[in-house]
Structure 1
């Protein structure tokens, strides 16, 4: 999918959740549509305060289901009374807030289109460094929209990054369908040079590298790990979506890597960096996935223990080769997704639990809810500081904090 429309009803908390959903979609290369009738997906973030509100939510859901290609319903009514939408015959996916971006992205490469320019969102600068992809995954529809990789020069991207810093960016997010193949179309692997050059820009800011497929970065993973090790401005974070722990499934997916290459990338970063965050994705229930394949994925997750994990249930996309495969039943996909999601929460919770009692520098990235702010440490792990307003803490500040607790997928910190 390339375009989205999002509507939000209810309280400030709901608006904050919609902002997080929208940021994740924009970070993945998706862009807002002028209206629901022009969107590939509409997202309805619901409220359920009184009966009248619930009736309004049902009516609006019916309207959106008729106006758009696909409807996703989330928010309070979706979580508390999700069956009401099904009973009303509304054709929609009913999901928790956190699951919306993963569902929309569907395990595919981000869709960065030719009209996407650098964007400054608060203190976060989004920098698309290239368009297109070198892969031909059997389940991915975005390749039809983006084509082969097209890489602007290092100088052009550095100039865009410098402009973002001068405009006030404190965090630059380097994005693309597959950042690891930046420069392949010119015959050179330019990502390490680009990251070095961006980090050399004057100013106090941080840089986060966006999604890089394991097959794309494997050829430069040692050089890339050295770039991370010598640049303090670069978050010690990589997003390398493995998608499956089974080589047979990866072959059917037509992924350009096998599990061994993924492990080599992880081991190299383990050797070079004292503390870093691995983000990865798994597609559960691919048509050829057997019970043994699924267990291999579970074993890989237990082995490498990523600090951030996206679990997506396979869904067919029209025009892709995987759409013609005989799929697994919904119950099987649901059970496997539940098992992996439970393991995910255990693994991520342990990672954040290990932070408690440590001190670290964080960047205040954005406002949270109830007078809190969301921060990122050097490994791009999220730290929440509460009572920020009364303490005079502002977005864009760098602070030293002590981690005092955690809530599975983020930590709590107190200024030192």
Structure 2
């Protein structure tokens, strides 16, 4: 009998991909997705705990589902992702109405966990982290819908142990996925009509550095293999650690035509003293050298970053160094956040915390300047002709479409004819807004 599934996803692309996998796994057991949780037989909340705000959002939504369960006692509430891995059985102590708690390594067992929860009427917990975990072979089912772009997981976990970060504790140690499985999934997707693929992992640069799953292939070798699939039009990847950025990988931007000129390279801080306390294992001088080298190989590359403001011990001088990096690199965009203590992360025990008001003031200063730089870079595109991949039509006004450049910039443009997501076309840029470009189709 057909049953209905609702998934709510918080956090990164890894979580988005995990949610797609869980939807397909339950789909193979006669579950169809609904956008109304009140109609669902199973509700899955895929959580994020990378920052305190993200974890709080997840906890607040659990309360909504408690009220829903009081009206509809039969539906199964499953919690997965980093909050589930981090809090484990403590979740059940606080919220006994949750039926399943499972970590990211356990998502492939979701159908059996749902079946057991229904049969036994007892909570199910699956939060083991194994260093011997193998990412199973997986081929996406695109029969119902063929989106023009997809994520492919190439590795899980992290070995860096940055002092502010929970990922090694919630997703485990670095595990590379089989080179053959990745290439097989990418080939399958392109054969189904996918035009753009993004390879994802906590630190894709270190793909293949340990274990034999990668079959002695490096990340640049994997990039070249996927790029060679006939019919693939665009290739992206995220996220990268600066210490593992090799010259071979930088050369890929000059030598692989389908590799998009966009690189997300988290800096976190411009101060060497703070970078050392963060355990980032690079200096700001080395970081800036690599940013400059990337632009030598690909002058039009769009660089984006992550920045943490108010890390314990950060002085005004340290913050000024971060602002200087923003001025020097001139990022096309950044994800910037106030530092927050995370469970198990070493920095949670650092004594010299920065006052909340100081963090807020610094973050506001940073974001204002970053927005100015981003707008200036967009304005520099006016008058240029750029290749855009169509994302879809705007709801209003009529004949308005939206797409993205290779540098991941949103472009809105008008076109009287019918377009399809994934179409590639040329657009002349006529104006720039804070978050997008506007133009006309050539």
TM-score category by the smaller chain? 0.7 to 0.9
State whether residues 387 and 424 of structure 2, in contact with CA within 8 Å, keep that contact through their aligned partners in structure 1: yes
Name 1:16's counterpart in structure 2.
Answer: none
Unaligned runs of 5+ in 1: 7-21, 42-60, 70-110
State whether residues 10 and 48 of structure 2, in contact with CA within 8 Å, keep that contact through their aligned partners in structure 1: no
Answer yes or no: is 1:352 the counterpart of 2:339: no
Give the 3-state SS of the residue equivalent to 1:197 in structure 2: helix
Name 2:387's counterpart in structure 1.
Answer: 361
Give the 3-state SS of the residue equivalent to 1:184 in structure 2: coil
User: TM-score, normalized by length of structure 2?
Assistant: 0.69
Q: CA RMSD in A?
A: 3.0
Return closer, same or farther for 1:207/1:409 CA change in 2, 3 Å cut-off: same
Name 1:293's counterpart in structure 2.
Answer: 318
The one of 410, 421, 426 equivalent to 1:382 is: 410
Q: Work out the CA distance in 2 between the residues paired with 1:308 and 1:118.
A: 33
Unaligned runs of 5+ in 2: 1-5, 23-41, 50-57, 67-102, 109-137
Q: Work out the CA distance in 2 between the residues paired with 1:27 and 1:62.
A: 20
Superposed displacement of residue 64, structure 1: 3.8
The one of 248, 260, 270 equivalent to 1:245 is: 270
Name 1:207's counterpart in structure 2.
Answer: 235
Give the 3-state SS of the residue equivalent to 1:404 in structure 2: strand
Superposed displacement of residue 174, structure 1: 0.8
Superposed displacement of residue 113, structure 1: 4.5
How many correspondences in the alignment?
A: 334
Answer yes or no: is 1:404 the counterpart of 2:430: yes
Name 1:332's counterpart in structure 2.
Answer: 358
The one of 195, 214, 225 equivalent to 2:223 is: 195
Answer yes or no: is 1:263 the counterpart of 2:291: no
Once the two structures are superposed, the pairs formed by residues 8-47 of structure 1 within 5 Å of their partners are: 25-26=12-13, 31-32=18-19, 35=43, 39=47
Q: Work out the CA distance in 2 between the residues paired with 1:112 and 1:279.
A: 27
Q: Work out the CA distance in 2 between the residues paired with 1:65 and 1:146.
A: 22
The one of 367, 377, 395 equivalent to 1:341 is: 367
Q: Work out the CA distance in 1 between the residues paired with 2:299 and 2:195.
A: 24
Give the 3-state SS of the residue equivalent to 2:155 in structure 1: coil
Superposed displacement of residue 379, structure 1: 2.3
The one of 208, 212, 216 equivalent to 1:183 is: 208
Superposed displacement of residue 323, structure 1: 1.4
Name 2:401's counterpart in structure 1.
Answer: 373
Name 1:93's counterpart in structure 2.
Answer: none
Name 2:195's counterpart in structure 1.
Answer: 170
